[in-house]
Amino acid sequence: MHYEGNMIRPPSEANSILLQATVGCSHNKCTFCGAYKGERFKIKTDDIIMADIAFAAKYCKNQDRLFICDGDALIIPQKRLVLMLTEIKKQLPWVNRVGLYANAKGIKMKTEEQLKELHDLGLDIAYLGLETGDDITLKNINKGATAATMIEMGKKIRSTGIKLSITVLLGIAGRERSQVHAEATGKVLSAIDPEYVGALSLMLIPGTPMYDEYESGKFSLIEPAEMLQEIRTMIQHTELSDGLFHANHASNYLPIRAKFPEDKKKTLHLIDEALGGRVALKPEFLRAL
């Protein structure tokens, strides 16, 4: 396989075939993210992508999921995505799920008909980094989209049959807007109603603008108890018709895996137990990106 730069994939794609179709991220301006620092975004040539699919057909027969890397593969022109998915279906017939990262810009560039075409060709899940539903925080972190746009694009992709997994970031708003961010994020999640939500806890990365803000005192990193208060408020304001709310990433202090709506009440109780010191939190040295 032809891999370049930092390869990033969701935790749930750990055992998937990783097909790198793009290098880097077309936005690459989020203040908290250092994943693609210094990398110029590019789409790989069809020849390289087809060679990697052929390699997977020969050597990856025990893996039934495939993830198209890197940061926002949905931005690839439709004809090329159709070619890619058609070849995956042809050469890797045992693959039963194809996923990719998507951002608001990439979703907006595709019509609903185009997204449905991709779904029909095997694209089953897209991962969207919402981070927050608070417009002020979205602007501060240079996300490049408003909450209203995120809702519109989230609903758009869901309407085509593609499952949606949304990532949110605890602590991303700092101390001053922590609860505003939590409540607003819960409301945006409720409006989109995705199949999956993954909550990660912010870990500052040296060399990023947000780290520099932290070092200069302009950004406050909240404490573990405040992270718990934040996710409690977020969950309290989140209504999913049939979804999974996860906070079991390595960065989180309290592992959570809840089926909504039925597990919402007991999840709030678990957080209250942790806030009361009756449930232990993950030690700092065990946390990771």
- Alpha carbons 46 and 53: distance in angstroms, whole number: 10
Domain range for residue 129? 11-274
Q: What pLDDT score was predicted for residue 52?
A: 98
φ/ψ (deg, to 5) at 198? -120, 120
Q: Using one digit for the tens of pLDDT, what is the confidence trace for 228-237?
A: 999 999 999 9
**62: amino acid identity, one letter:** N
φ/ψ (deg, to 5) at 70? -110, -115
- Alpha carbons 175 and 222: distance in angstroms, whole number: 6
**170: amino acid identity, one letter:** L
Q: Is residue 287 part of a domain?
A: no
Listed residue (212, 185, 174) closest to 128, CA to CA:
185
Residue 1 has, within 13 A of its CA and on its CB side, a CA count of 16
Q: Is residue 219 part of a domain?
A: yes
Q: What pLDDT score was predicted for residue 66?
A: 98
Token pair, residue 42, equals 């590019």
- Alpha carbons 211 and 219: distance in angstroms, whole number: 8
Average pLDDT of the chain to the nearest whole number: 95
Q: DSSP string covering 53-105, please?
A: HHHHHHH-TT--EEEEESTTGGGS-HHHHHHHHHHHHHH-TT--EEEEEE-HH
Contact 268, 232 (CB under 8 A): yes
Q: Using one digit for the tens of pLDDT, what is the confidence trace for 106-132?
A: 999 999 999 999 999 999 999 999 999
**β-bridge pairing 65-69 and 17-20:** parallel
Q: Is residue 68 part of a domain?
A: yes
Q: What pLDDT score was predicted for residue 96?
A: 96
Q: Using one digit for the tens of pLDDT, what is the confidence trace for 194-228?
A: 999 999 999 999 999 999 999 999 999 999 999 99
Q: Is residue 288 part of a domain?
A: no
Helices 147-158 and 112-120, interaxial angle, to 10°?
A: 50
Contact 227, 282 (CB under 8 A): no
Q: What pLDDT score was predicted for residue 289?
A: 67
Q: Is residue 225 part of a domain?
A: yes
Bridge partners (DSSP) of residue 66 are 17, 98
Total domain count, the chain:
1
Q: Using one digit for the tens of pLDDT, what is the confidence trace for 17-53?
A: 999 999 999 999 999 999 888 888 999 999 999 999 9
Q: Is residue 126 part of a domain?
A: yes
Q: What pLDDT score was predicted for residue 37?
A: 83
Q: Using one digit for the tens of pLDDT, what is the confidence trace for 46-83?
A: 999 999 999 999 999 999 999 999 988 999 999 999 99
Close Cβ partners of 127 (under 8 Å, ≥ 6 residues apart)? 10, 99, 100, 101, 102, 165, 166, 167
Q: What pLDDT score was predicted for residue 108?
A: 96
Q: Is residue 2 part of a domain?
A: no
Q: What pLDDT score was predicted for residue 147?
A: 98
Q: Using one digit for the tens of pLDDT, what is the confidence trace for 151-192?
A: 999 999 999 999 999 999 999 999 999 999 999 999 999 999
Q: Is residue 4 part of a domain?
A: no
Listed residue (72, 78, 69, 80) closest to 47, CA to CA:
80
Q: Find the CATH number of the domain harbouring 206.
A: 3.20.20.70
Average pLDDT of the segment spanning 142-146: 97
